[in-house]
Amino acid sequence: MINILNKNKTYITRFGFTLAEVLITLGIIGIVAAMTMPVLTEKVNHIISVNRLKKMYSTLSQAMLFTLAKDGDYSSLGIVDQDTSSIENWYKNSLKPQLKITKECIDSSGCWAKTTKALNGGTPKWHRPGIGLGYNVMIASTIDGYTIDIDGYAKNDTTFGVNMKNDYVAVYVDINGLKNPNVIGKDIFVFVFGEKGFIPAGRDKSDAEVNADCSSSGTGYFCFEKIMRNGWEIPKENRW
């Protein structure tokens, strides 16, 4: 409250804020902002990450689908486990034309991160520092910033939680290329491509099995499947 003397020499009472009140108010606003900004930032980052995952899955699903354009039969691709030429031919003649590739490595270093970790901090199967995950692998970087590791697997290999009647392709996708953290289940996600289409690893596993694998004690192979089953909600422990 402020008393002001007007030209008639009478006081007019006006209500306002004192400097102390203004400073207190600004201090409260600052405290509230400091408390809410991290939450808002986390939500925004989560939305960005989910959209990036959806775009990646859509892009690769479409690309894989077009490799079947001739007759729609997966078995006609001729993919055979431990046969480098079959994977290389499929990649070059069928998959590569569907993607905008900026760099590629044929079972050699230069395209994949030097170190890849499982979600539990361990070393994933078939880890080859700087080369990729698997043997006789094709590594390709896309214009969208993804790095794709492609390897063939035998039909009786159930590492990826999908039951296949034919030899199939395992696909590791690092959504931010060579940048950290390079951890399966965080920025690296695992898929398979076979007669069931292009699907996340763990598709044939129960919720309990998927949740156990996508945890601090698991490999992280089934994390994309978990995210999809949870309505595209990325678990906090998998965010980076």
Q: Per DSSP, which regions of the chain are E strands?
A: 2-5, 11-14, 101-106, 127-128, 132-133, 138-142, 147-153, 168-174, 188-194, 197-200
Helices vs. strands in the chain: H and E counts, helices first: 4, 10
Question: Residue 17 has what pLDDT?
Answer: 62
Cβ atoms 150, 104 nearer than 8 A: no
17 within domain boundaries: no
| Tokens coding 203 | 């598709």
Residue 19 belongs to some domain of the structure: no
Residue 204 sits at φ, ψ, to 5 deg, of -95, 10
User: What is residue 112's three-state secondary structure?
Assistant: coil
Coil, strand or helix at 213: helix
Lowest-confidence pick of 24-28, 29-33, 95-99, 217-221: 29-33
Mean pLDDT to the nearest integer, 19-45: 69
Opening angle at CA 194, ends 202 and 218, nearest 5? 20
In a domain, 203, yes or no: yes
In terms of Cα–Cα distance, which of 194, 170, 196 is closest to 184? 170
**Range 109-118 average pLDDT:** 95
| pLDDT of res. 193 | 93
- Residue-wise pLDDT tens digits, 52-100: 899 999 999 999 988 886 666 777 677 777 777 888 888 998 899 999 9
- 27: in domain: no
The predicted pLDDT at position 175 comes to: 93
Rounded Cα distance between 68 and 72, Å, is 4
Domain assignment of residue 152, given as a range: 43-238
> Encoding tokens for residue 87?
């994977």
1-10, 85-94, 170-179, 225-234 — which is least confidently predicted?
A: 1-10
Identify the residue whose tokens are 């361990």: 122
> Is 0.85 surpassed by the pTM of this model?
no
Collapsing DSSP states into helix, strand and coil, what is residue 76? helix
CB-based contact 185:223 (threshold 8 Å): yes
Q: What percent of the chain has pLDDT over 70?
A: 85
User: In this structure, is residue 47 part of a structural domain?
Assistant: yes
Confirm whether 28 is domain-assigned.
no
Query: Is it the case that residue 184 has pLDDT exceeding 60?
Result: yes
Contact 148, 103 (CB under 8 A): no
Domain count, the chain: 1
Distance CA 236, CA 148 (A): 25
